[in-house]
Homo-oligomer: A and B are copies of this chain.
Amino acid sequence: MRIISADSGAALLNERFEATSIVAAVAVLVEPPYRLAKTCISEPIFSTVANSHELIVHELELCQALLKETRADVVHLDMSFGGLLLEELSPIQLSNISSRARGYVLKILPKLRKIAADVKRVYGVEVLAIGKDSVPVRIAELTAAASAVLYAAEKAVDEKRMVRLGMPSKCYARKVENGVMVHSLTPAEHDIAGFAADREAVLEKITFSELLNPVARGFRALEFTPNSARLL
C-alpha cells in the first residue's frame, strides 16, 4: 500500500517548558516497509497552541496537495476514531468522546468531509480517521519534528537568541550529513524515523543541546543557540 498521511508537530516551549506554538506541518507518502517518508511536503506554521485542533484541516489540505504530485491508495488522518472512513464519521459516532473534544470535532467536521469528498472524487482515494493506530501518521509526526528542528534553528539565527523546541513524544533528533533525522524511541519503532534536508546549512549556524522536559515524562527538548551569540 502507498499511504499518504499528515501531521503538525514540535512546539516552541517557554521557560516553564509549556508549549506556546506548533512549528511545522507536513504531508508524507509512505511505502512498505513503512519506516521513512518516500516524499514529503513541509512548511513552517508557528501556529498558536490554542488553535491546534484546527490544524487537522490544514493537514488534510496538505495530503490533497501531495496527491496532486503522487499516487496513493489511502489517506491516514491524525484523528483517532479506529480507522473509520471520514465520510462515515457522524455526530453519533462522537458520543463517546469528551464534550469539549466533540465540540472541536463538530466545528471542523464539515470542512474535513468536504475535502475528503473532493479527494475521493478526484483521486478515488478514501480518508481514514485512524490516528494513533497508524504508522504513517507517526512517520508524519517525526518528519514534522525534523522540519521543525530546521525552522527553530532558523528562528534562533534570525532572532539572535536561544530558542527551545519541545519534540513529539518519545523521539530524539540527530544531525546527519545533509540534514536532521528524528528517530522514534517508542517500543518496536526503533527503525521508524523522519528526515528533513538542511539545504540552507542552517545547522552550521547554531549549536543545539538536548535535555529532558522535566514536567512531561517521555518528551525531550532541544535548545538552539546561534553560534554568533556564543562568540559574543
> Is A227 an interface position by the 8 A CB rule?
no
User: Is A19 located at the chain interface by the 8 A CB criterion?
Assistant: no
Chain A contacts with B in 17-47, Cβ cutoff 8 A:
30, 32-35
What is the distance, in angstroms, from A129's C-beta to the closest C-beta of chain B? Answer: 12
Contact across chains for A136 and B214 when beta carbons are under 8 A apart = yes
> By CB atoms of chain B within 10 A, which of A33, A135, A169, A217 has the most?
A217
Chain A interface, DSSP helix/strand/loop, else mixed: loop
- Does A135 lie within 8 Å of B212, measured CB to CB? yes
Docked-complex contact A215 and B83, CB < 8 angstroms: yes
In this assembly, does A232 line the interface, its C-beta being within 8 Å of a C-beta of chain B? no
Contact of A172 among B32, B33, B188 (CB under 8 A): B188
Contact call B212/A132, Cβ cutoff below 8 A: no
Please, which residue of chain B has its CB at the minimum distance from the CB of A170? B188
A residues 171-223 in Cβ contact with B at 8 Å: 171-172, 185-192, 209-220
Residue numbers in B under 8 Å from A192 (CB-CB): 212
Sorting the interface of chain A by its residue count into under 10, 10 to 19, 20 to 34 or 35 or more gives 35 or more
Q: How far is the CA of A220 from the CA of B16 in the complex (A)?
A: 34
Within the complex, what minimum Cβ distance (angstroms) separates A107 from chain B? 25
Chain B residues in 8 Å Cβ range of A209: 33
In the bound complex, how far is the Cα of B218 from the Cα of A191, in angstroms?
12
A220: B residues at CB distance < 8 A:
188
A residues apposed to B, CB below 8 Å: 1, 3, 16, 30, 32-35, 76, 83, 130, 132-136, 138, 169-172, 185-192, 209-220
Q: Given A132-B217, A134-B214, output 14 extra A-B contacts at Cβ < 8 Å.
A: A32-B214, A33-B212, A34-B211, A34-B212, A34-B213, A76-B214, A130-B215, A133-B215, A134-B215, A170-B188, A171-B188, A188-B220, A189-B217, A189-B218
